[in-house]
Amino acid sequence: MVDPVLALSVFFVLSMATVLLFWPRWGLVARLRRGSGWDERIQLEDALKHLHLRERQQAPTTLEDLAGKLEVSTGRAATILVQLVEAGLATAGDDGPSLTDEGRSLARQTIRTHRLWERWLADRTGVRAEDWHSEAERMEHTLTAEETDRLASRLGHPRYDPHGDPIPTSGGELPPLGGRSLRTIPEGRAVRILHLEDEPRELYLKLLDLGLAPGLTAEVLESSKRGVLLRTPEGERLLEPVALGHVSVEVLPLDSEVETDRRSLAEVPVGEAVLVTGISPACQGPQRRRLLDLGLVRGATVTPELVSTSKDPVAYRIRGALIALRRDQARWISVTTASDAAA
């Protein structure tokens, strides 16, 4: 029989060893990384990314701006800029630092790795959408250019990350983001969402809560001081002024129609057979693939048959088999009746 005192002592020792090894800032692993230059490399690459972003925004970079982004002192930010200039990756001018061709190429390599990781997290894992960016921030510094190319190949060489940002090619080409702000769209026009800005995290969460995603179509109902009111397949959604600059859209042709009064599978009563018309763009990655693998494709017939005592999940008859779906999964699936589909 194991001595409980001994077992507790062993657990305490192992716990303390883990803390001493892996404590984020002061653990042995963190110190070894700092000593090996790991943290310095990350800061330099992050500085290049930030200079590239400001360049794309046609805005100057200040020392305070860079320090805030890297979460370091202005003194440390100045040292990083000196290192970039000495390495030939940036130049110092009266309007602030700017990237050289080599610096721009390295910045785009890091951006390429970051956005490919986000695509991988969205398509191949169950990581939540609000965590894609932070996870990719951590992973973007771990691959060589050759390993990044292999990752792109595994993903089928995607052109955009899950937020709608263009992914630089292996040669460093980066197309413009495109799209327009919702502020500029007249009332009554139909639009398709091209891009959602994923920073800051809190604002991105609000966009997700509204059910917005790249690929979603909507109609601008009202544009006023209180924001922009959209009619989406999920219903009416108000984007407050602070969120408008974080959504880019393209205007659809005048005769385009936006799906309204959408009916989701979650609203269908037991015994009613319906036809699948689509899956919401907000459903991505493994969850989308699972629904498609279950046979929830356009035109498939689905019938709710059994409801659990808690009313969640519900068992649906799909292709002759009973499949249990949670209500949040069923809400992603648009359906219609056979008569409406024929009409």
Q: Which pLDDT tens digit goes with each residue over 126-137?
A: 788 889 999 999
pLDDT at 312: 86
pLDDT at 196: 93
- The dihedral over CA atoms of 276, 279, 280, 281, expressed in degrees to the nearest 10, equals -150
How many CB atoms are closer than 10 A to CB 92? 12
> Which residue numbers in the chain have pLDDT < 70?
1-38, 258-261, 339-343
pLDDT at 100: 96
- Which CA distances in Å does 12 have to 1, 8, 16, 17, 192? 19, 6, 6, 9, 56
pLDDT at 195: 94
* 311 token code pair: 């009313």
Residue type, position 342, single letter: A
* 312 token code pair: 């969640």
pLDDT at 328: 83
pLDDT at 316: 94
Please say whether the dihedral angle defined by the alpha carbons of residues 92, 101, 60 and 116, taken in this order, is positive or negative. Answer: negative
pLDDT at 283: 81
pLDDT at 96: 86
Distance of alpha carbon 289 from alpha carbon 85, whole angstroms: 47
pLDDT at 35: 43
Q: Minimal CA–CA distance to 195: which of 174, 212, 220, 219?
A: 212
- By the 8 A CB rule, do 279 and 244 touch? no
